[in-house]
Amino acid sequence: SGASEGDLILLTIGTADSGGTMYQAGSALAQAITQEDHSIKVNISASTGSGMNVRSLESGEVDLALVSGDMASATGRMSFGLP
């Protein structure tokens, strides 16, 4: 369902610590999203990295999360019961 005028959609992106490249990538993603759609506000959530981001995504603490390729692959295998 679309947001009516005046409604604000809040998204939280899990990144990594504020000195890392994942934080910079998350900030750039947040900026691109908010420039494209002014009804969306994006918060950046600094974390200890991919493992914490996966847990935060699973628990609903974040809406989007940046994770390393190996962590995403391992998480997908666990979720789908693959070897």
pTM of the model: 0.76
C-alpha distances out from residue 54 to 3, 4, 9, 27, Å: 27, 31, 22, 18
11 forms beta bridges with 42
Tens-digit pLDDT string for the chain (83 aa): 344 556 899 999 999 888 888 999 999 999 999 999 999 999 999 999 888 988 898 899 999 999 888 887 777 655 545 44
- Burial degree of 82 (CB within 10 A; 0-12, 13-18, 19+): exposed
**What 8-state DSSP symbol labels residue 25?**
H
